[in-house]
C-alpha cells in the first residue's frame, strides 16, 4: 500500500505543473493579492484532487503593508542605495532618521558586547547568514541585541555578492522595535569604507488589523487519529518564493492526490494543513494549534512539515527533540531508499515548532542543511526563483514525504512522543 502511493507519485506529472503555477502567483507576501491568489489556487487544487472543499480557518493578525525604504549617505554622495524594509519594521519620521553607522560584523552576542559603548544612538550594521545550519544566528536575535544595546536603527547585509538586498522578518512588535532595512553585500562594503559614516534611513509602512485563513482538509482513516501534513503558503515579495515554499506546497498537493482515494485502507486519517502568515513569527500555525482542545492535540500522532524541500538533493529532518521520532524517520526513509539527515535540537524556524511546543511529535523536512553552497542560500533574496529547483530533487523529496506520510497513516501503533 505504501509502495503503491510512492509509485503513483513517481508516475504523476502534476507536481511540476503545480510548482510552476504556485510560483506564478508571485512572492505571496501576507496581505498581498499574490497571497490571495495562491490561496485560491491551492484551495481549488485541493478540492480537485480530493473531492473535498478545504475549510478556511480564520486567522486575525496585525497586517503590515510595505511602503518605500530609503538609505543614503548624509553628505549625499553615491545617491541612494537599493534597500528593502524588513517585515514589520516600525516607520521612521517622514524625513527619516539620521545617525552614524556602526559595523557590528556578523552580529554575534560577543560582537555586540565588545562594541556596547558605541552602539547607543547609532544605526547598527550586521550580516545575514546561511539560514539552515547548526550554528546559524537568526536575524531576529541580532535585532533584539541591537535594541538592547540602544541602537536606533538596524541594517542587515546579504552575505552573497550580486544578489541585491536581503529581506526577512524583523521581529519588531508594536511595543518594541527600531526601523530595520535589508541591504546588499555591495552596499555594506561601500558604507564601511570609512571609519565613520553618517547615514539617513527612511521607512514607510502601514499597519492595520487583517484577516486571512489557513486551509485545512481532513481525509479520515479508520480511526480517530491524525497525521498532519503541513506547508506554509506565504512568502516574501522579492521574487516568487520558489524554494521557500512553493516546493513544500506542490509536494503536499501530490501526496494528497495520491492518498485521498485510498484512505479507507489506512488506520489513521491524513489532515492537510496549509498555514499562512508563517513569515509573521509562525502566526498561522500558532493560532491553529493553540486553538485545538487537549484531546484534539492528543489525536495528532505526527506533524510532518515541508518547508524548502528542494534547492539541494540532500534532505534533513529537524526532529524537534523527539528521539523516538528521529529513529522512526531514519528507519522508514532508509526502507524506501532515501538518505535522510537528522538534526535533533528544537528549531523555531517553521510551523512544526507550534506542534512540538505542545508536545506533538513534529518534524520539518528541509533541503541543504549545513550545505552553505547549495542554492538554499538564495532563500530570502530576489534569487529564490524556480530555476534553482532541480525537478528531480523535488520529485525525490515528494516521494520521501509520501512514503513517510503513508507509513505514519498505516502503522498499527504510532507513539513517537
Ligand atoms: Zn519557509
Task: Render pLDDT for 201-253 as a digit per residue (tens, 0 to 9).
Answer: 999 999 999 999 999 999 999 999 999 999 999 999 999 999 999 999 999 99
The C-alpha cell at 136 is 546559524
Choose among 35, 401, 364, 55: nearest CA to 251.
Answer: 401
pLDDT at position 78 is: 85
* pTM summary value: 0.96
Residue 191 alpha carbon to ligand 1 centre in Å: 30
The C-alpha atoms of residue 39 and residue 41 are separated, in whole angstroms, by 5
Burial of 206 (0-12, 13-18, 19+ CB in 10 A): exposed
Q: Tell me: the pLDDT tens digits for 46-77? A: 999 999 999 999 999 999 999 999 999 998 88
Residue 232 alpha carbon to ligand 1 centre in Å: 7
Residue 384 alpha carbon to ligand 1 centre in Å: 11
The C-alpha atoms of residue 250 and residue 312 are separated, in whole angstroms, by 16
Q: Tell me: the pLDDT tens digits for 403-417? A: 999 999 999 999 999
Choose among 366, 362, 361: nearest CA to 393.
Answer: 366
Is 90 exceeded by the pLDDT of residue 393?
Answer: yes
Residue 234 alpha carbon to ligand 1 centre in Å: 8
The C-alpha atoms of residue 221 and residue 412 are separated, in whole angstroms, by 12
The C-alpha atoms of residue 65 and residue 87 are separated, in whole angstroms, by 9
Is 90 exceeded by the pLDDT of residue 20?
Answer: yes
Angstrom distances, CA of residue 298 to CA of 80, 114, 292: 54, 47, 10
Q: Tell me: the pLDDT tens digits for 7-16? A: 999 999 999 9
Residue 308 alpha carbon to ligand 1 centre in Å: 6
The C-alpha cell at 269 is 486519517
pLDDT at position 387 is: 98
The C-alpha atoms of residue 86 and residue 80 are separated, in whole angstroms, by 18
Residue 119 alpha carbon to ligand 1 centre in Å: 32
Q: Tell me: the pLDDT tens digits for 360-386? A: 999 999 999 999 999 999 999 999 999
User: Which of 96-105, 163-172, 337-346 is the least confident region?
Assistant: 163-172
Residue 350 alpha carbon to ligand 1 centre in Å: 6
Amino acid at each position: 500500500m505504501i509502495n503503491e502511493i510512492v509509485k503513483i507519485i513517481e508516475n504523476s506529472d502534476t507536481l511540476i505543473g503545480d510548482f510552476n503555477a504556485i510560483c506564478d502567483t508571485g512572492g505571496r507576501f501576507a496581505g498581498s493579492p499574490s497571497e490571495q491568489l495562491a490561496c485560491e489556487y491551492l484551495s481549488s487544487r485541493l478540492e480537485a484532487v480530493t473531492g473535498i472543499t478545504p475549510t478556511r480557518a480564520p486567522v486575525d493578525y496585525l497586517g503590515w503593508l510595505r511602503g518605500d525604504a530609503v538609505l543614503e549617505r548624509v553628505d549625499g554622495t553615491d545617491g541612494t542605495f537599493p534597500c528593502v524594509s524588513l517585515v514589520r519594521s516600525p516607520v521612521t519620521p517622514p524625513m527619516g532618521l539620521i545617525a552614524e553607522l556602526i559595523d557590528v560584523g556578523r552580529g554575534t552576542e560577543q560582537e555586540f558586547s565588545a562594541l556596547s559603548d558605541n552602539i547607543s544612538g547609532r544605526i547598527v550594521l550586521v550580516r545575514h547568514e546561511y539560514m539552515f545550519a547548526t550554528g546559524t544566528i537568526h536575524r531576529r536575535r541580532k535585532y533584539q541585541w541591537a535594541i538592547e544595546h540602544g541602537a536606533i536603527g538596524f541594517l542587515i547585509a546579504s552575505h552573497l555578492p550580486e544578489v541585491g538586498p536581503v529581506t526577512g522578518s524583523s521581529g519588531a512588535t508594536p511595543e518594541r522595535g527600531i526601523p530595520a532595512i535589508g541591504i546588499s553585500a555591495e552596499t555594506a562594503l561601500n558604507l564601511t569604507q570609512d571609519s565613520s559614516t553618517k547615514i539617513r534611513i527612511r521607512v514607510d509602512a502601514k499597519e492595520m488589523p487583517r484577516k486571512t485563513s489557513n486551509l485545512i482538509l481532513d481525509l479520515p482513516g479508520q480511526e480517530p487519529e491524525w497525521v498532519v501534513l503541513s506547508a506554509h503558503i506565504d512568502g516574501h515579495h522579492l521574487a516568487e518564493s520558489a524554494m521557500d515554499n512553493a516546493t513544500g506546497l506542490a509536494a503536499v498537493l501530490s501526496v494528497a492526490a495520491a492518498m485521498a482515494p485510498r484512505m479507507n485502507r489506512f488506520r489513521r486519517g491524513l489532515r492537510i494543513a496549509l498555514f499562512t502568515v508563517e513569515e509573521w513569527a509562525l502566526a498561522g500555525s500558532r493560532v491553529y494549534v493553540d486553538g485545538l482542545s487537549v484531546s484534539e492535540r492528543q489525536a495528532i500522532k505526527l506533524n510532518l512539515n515541508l518547508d524548502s524541500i528542494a534547492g539541494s538533493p540532500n534532505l534533513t529532518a529537524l526532529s524537534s527533540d523527539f528521539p523516538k521520532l528521529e529513529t522512526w524517520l531514519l528507519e522508514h526513509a532508509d526502507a524506501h531508499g532515501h538518505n535522510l539527515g537528522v538534526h535533533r535540537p528544537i528549531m523555531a524556524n517553521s510551523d512544526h515548532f507550534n506542534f512540538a511546543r505542545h508536545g506533538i511529535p513534529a518534524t520539518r523536512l528541509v533541503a541543504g542543511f549545513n550545505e552553505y553552497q547549495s542554492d538554499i542560500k538564495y532563500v530570502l533574496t530576489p534569487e529564490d526563483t524556480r530555476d534553482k529547483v532541480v525537478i528531480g530533487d523535488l520529485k525525490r523529496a515528494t516521494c520521501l514525504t509520501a512514503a513517510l506520510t503513508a507509513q505514519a497513516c498505516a502503522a498499527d501503533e504510532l507513539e513517537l512522543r
